[in-house]
Amino acid sequence: MDDDTYEISTDPARLDAARIHHWLSTDAYWALGRSREKQDSAIANSLNFGLYDTASGTQLAYARVVTDHTTFAWLCDVYVDPATRGKGLGVALVTAVRDHLAPSGLRRILLATADAHGVYAKLGFEPLTDPAKWMALGLQ
* pLDDT tens-digit series, residues 8-41: 999 999 999 999 999 999 999 999 999 999 999 9
Domain harbouring 17, CATH code? 3.40.630.30
Hey, which bits of the chain come out as E strands?
A: 6-9, 47-53, 59-67, 72-80, 108-110
Q: Answer whether residue 97 is part of any domain.
A: yes
Please give the model's pTM, rounded to 2 decimal places: 0.93
In a domain, 23, yes or no: yes
Q: Which of 130, 127, 3, 12 is nearest to 65 (CA)?
A: 12
Does residue 67 lie within any of the structural domains?
yes
Give how many domains the chain has, as a whole number.
1
CB of 72 closer than 8 Å to CB of 108:
yes
In a domain, 135, yes or no: no
Split at pLDDT 50, 70, 90, the class of 139 is low
For residue 84, being part of any structural domain is answered with yes
| Domain that residue 49 falls in | 6-125
